[in-house]
Structure 1
């Protein structure tokens, strides 16, 4: 961020930064992060507060406003894809006793559009709706990227320079290793995350098509704490996951 932010850009920058601080953030902290004068940031906050998009929870401590949350959740709940996906995720979470996600590809990241935790008795994962993770180290990301990438040049166009960040000891960071995994993903028709994004968490993901596209529009995943549900068990469950997708979304959702 720079102090050249003006007008709507400045307001949006402040709004975006507020979203990074659910427990609240001070004017001084906002001004420092955005590298903008305090009076400038304060004017942007005043604009957001008038619209209900920002609020205060104490003297000089700002958070996102309830109106922002209302608009966001109303929009999310009203999206046709969420209405279609939520019953499927509820089915998978109940059936396997693990967390189910629906995610889409956004540049080099995946974004979680919907999530369902198991009804009871399981550790809850840290993923959140709207949260992002780098695609190269997630099962949903690999299954979505695999349909679009065939060569090392394609990988570089998506992820930039290699090696990539080593998030865990299992993360694939070289172009050759990732390209090989994407080829394997394409061949078997589902993605695997073997503790590559978070130690102790395993995941499988199946691509889905919601709009008749030639490439998947998103992916459905089942994630689990590995000591409770090993990756091998999740892999064995892929045919059942595919069947659940067909039952809920119809055969055209699978390719």
Structure 2
């Protein structure tokens, strides 16, 4: 349902290029690690070499370094994949994050109450990143959003409720939009600075944001801010994302007071 954006290795956030378009040094090792993360079933050395754009011997050395650290491994077929130590560190870190510890019980409550998916997300430039997700305990159809996945901020409820706190004027929205119009994910996506400014102003006035099938057809969402470090600046946002045929947007709006009440201590910094 909510699809995450896959970036090629050459443009993945945090990956630097040097010497033309080749990964070098530590950036090569990081590039190989990121590419491994895109292949849960494993990837052959030749395919990995083509993906990161480096010579096979250098990619092999990067893999050797990652394997020594337990961050990469090989299956019985010789394909490379993320190592168990990497997964242990990632899951342990994620589970111990204060925001995750505080937010997950709320997401579980919302998912159970509405029978839909609840998310916690943060703003990262022009995108939102999902930090936590809880699917409903029942229901045959669920969203395909993933922890760590990204979506465009202007097309999502969590993105708009966070942008509403950052972009208070039309000029600020215009600067954020820049020269390239935001992607139109569906016919309902707000893509111009004027449209987005009006939506963010309404979001500030009512205190929550809506996604009326703007990121994906058939999916609606209501999002509220969460305050982690400041009583005025939200650290992230919580949302209930629903299949429109199962839970219409009107039903979420009618329940906004209940959702606010469920936020409880998350309405204050933590």
TM-score of the aligned structures, taking structure 1 as reference length: 0.92
Aligned residue-pair number: 251
1:126 to 144, 167, 179: 144
Where does the alignment leave 5 or more consecutive residues of structure 2 unmatched?
1-9, 11-16
Distance in 1 (CA, whole Å) between partners of 2:150 and 2:139 is 26
Shift of 1:202: 0.5
Does structure 1 residue 182 correspond to structure 2 residue 203?
Answer: no
Residues 1:16 and 1:250: Cα distance change in structure 2 (over 3 Å): closer
Match of 1:238 in 2: 256
Match of 1:39 in 2: 57
Does structure 1 residue 252 correspond to structure 2 residue 261?
Answer: no
Shift of 1:152: 4.1
Match of 2:172 in 1: 154
Match of 1:110 in 2: 128
Residues 1:28 and 1:251: Cα distance change in structure 2 (over 3 Å): closer
Residues 1:143 and 1:251: Cα distance change in structure 2 (over 3 Å): closer
1:51 to 69, 72, 77: 69
Where does the alignment leave 5 or more consecutive residues of structure 1 unmatched?
none
Write out aligned runs for 1:184-223 (5 A). Answer: 184-223=202-241
Shift of 1:58: 4.3
Runs of 4+ that moved beyond 6 A: none
Does structure 1 residue 226 correspond to structure 2 residue 244?
Answer: yes
* Per-residue CA distance 1:65-108 (angstroms, 9 max, x = gap): 11111100000111111111111111111111111111111121
Residues 1:250 and 1:174: Cα distance change in structure 2 (over 3 Å): closer
Does structure 1 residue 173 correspond to structure 2 residue 191?
Answer: yes
Superposed CA RMSD in Å reads: 1.7
CA contact (8 A) 1:97 1:122 kept: no
Distance in 1 (CA, whole Å) between partners of 2:90 and 2:60 is 24
Distance in 1 (CA, whole Å) between partners of 2:157 and 2:213 is 10
Distance in 1 (CA, whole Å) between partners of 2:267 and 2:152 is 29
Does structure 1 residue 138 correspond to structure 2 residue 156?
Answer: yes
TM-score of the aligned structures, taking structure 2 as reference length: 0.87
Residues 1:41 and 1:251: Cα distance change in structure 2 (over 3 Å): closer
CA contact (8 A) 1:162 1:174 kept: no
